[in-house]
């Protein structure tokens, strides 16, 4: 009986999960949607304030194990570590994210990153075949990442991430996959460019035997950092993804900093119907003092995941 219930609940729960964390697919679109959307969610509160752009950033490398470890050898700090909390769609189908990340350099050329994230989806009710309420449950996601970066020339580096993603949809119904990111990066002065593939890995199968792709993409990132008048700085970032299922996404963000202590951010994220996330606008604020970073980001401009809040606490030196 419980196995039958789980299979009956699987489609509804998957739709609920994608709606809360990945922009909601309709039931007739589910066969073309992407499984394990947690692979493509931004965990960094600083990047979240810039439309989720940050693949080519040399300052936001804490959560590189989820994105691009090729940038760590160019980072302006030897070690960074952080904790972030994300409250998705508080006015809709709620879910929460907690993530830990760290990145550090070994010498002038080698770097390592590690990360872990847990997500709890919206609670749902479980009924048996007679229509009797059996209780409640919620979807659960986990993500683990280990990354390596190596600068083989003064201006060129390569990075590889190995990731495991799992999702529990209902009792006796779960998904999991291994994935990898592979990137090259170029940095010179204030310009940074990176390109590669993101979350390339195995497909997953549902309890009914249907197979679904994970959010694999060909990805690029651009960044430009400009300092002026001694205490002022501006950082522009652009990310773009072409998903192998035909979806596309792009994120454009900007950050203003004063004395490397106060930060104001804004960004726009564009996503097609087959992308992980829909289109939205973000704003963010941050502060840094004696190596401690506090960042806030607010997502708006979308009815499905609007009012999403990301908060991050970090330390770097």
Residue whose C-alpha is closest to residue 101's, from 72, 139, 140: 72
pLDDT at 115 over 60: yes
Q: Residue 107 contacts by C-beta under 8 Å, 6 or more apart in sequence?
A: none
Higher pLDDT, 172 or 49: 49
Higher pLDDT, 185 or 40: 185
Cα–Cα distances in Å, from 237 out to 7, 271, 283, 291? 43, 17, 14, 23
Helices (H), 49-149: none
CA gyration radius, the chain: 19
pLDDT tens digits for range 121-158: 877 777 777 877 777 777 889 999 999 999 999 999 99
Mean pLDDT of 193-216: 86
CATH number at residue 95: 2.40.160.60
CA neighbours within 13 Å on the CB side: how many for 116? 0
pLDDT tens digits for range 221-277: 999 999 988 899 999 999 999 999 999 999 999 999 999 999 999 999 999 988 989
Total structural domains within the chain: 1
Domain hosting 223: range is: 2-316
Average predicted confidence (pLDDT) for the chain: 86
Residue whose C-alpha is closest to residue 98's, from 50, 52, 133, 63: 63
Residue 134 to residue 143: CA distance in whole angstroms: 29
């Amino acid at each position: 009986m419980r196995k039958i219930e789980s299979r009956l609940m699987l489609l509804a729960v998957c739709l609920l999960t994608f709606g809360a964390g990945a922009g909601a697919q309709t039931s007739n679109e589910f066969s073309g949607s992407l499984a394990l959307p947690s692979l493509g969610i931004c965990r960094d509160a600083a990047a979240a304030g810039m439309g989720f752009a940050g693949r080519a950033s040399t300052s936001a490398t804490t959560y590189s194990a989820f994105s691009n470890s090729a940038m760590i050898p160019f980072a302006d700090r030897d070690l960074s570590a952080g904790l972030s909390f994300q409250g998705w769609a508080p006015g809709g189908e709620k879910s929460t994210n907690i993530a830990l990340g760290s990145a550090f350099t070994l010498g002038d050329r080698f770097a390592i990153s590690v990360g872990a994230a847990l997500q709890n989806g919206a609670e749902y009710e479980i009924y048996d075949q007679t229509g009797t309420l059996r209780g409640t449950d919620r979807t659960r996601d986990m993500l683990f990442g280990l990354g390596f970066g190596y600068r083989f020339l003064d201006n060129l580096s390569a990075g590889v991430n190995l990731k495991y993603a799992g999702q529990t949809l209902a009792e006796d119904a779960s998904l999991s996959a291994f994935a990898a990111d592979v990137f090259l990066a170029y940095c010179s002065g204030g310009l940074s460019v990176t390109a590669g593939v993101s979350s390339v890995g195995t497909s997953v199968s549902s309890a009914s035997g249907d197979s679904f792709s994970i959010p694999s993409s060909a990805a690029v990132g651009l960044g430009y950092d400009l300092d002026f008048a001694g205490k002022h700085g501006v950082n522009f970032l652009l990310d773009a993804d072409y998903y192998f299922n035909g979806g596309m996404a792009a994120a454009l963000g900007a950050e203003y900093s004063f004395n490397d202590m106060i930060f104001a951010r804004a960004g726009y994220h564009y996503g097609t119907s087959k992308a992980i996330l829909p289109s939205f606008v973000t704003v963010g604020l941050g502060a840094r003092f004696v190596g401690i970073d506090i960042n806030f980001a607010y997502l708006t401009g979308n009815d499905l995941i609007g009012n999403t809040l990301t908060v991050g606490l970090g330390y770097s030196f």
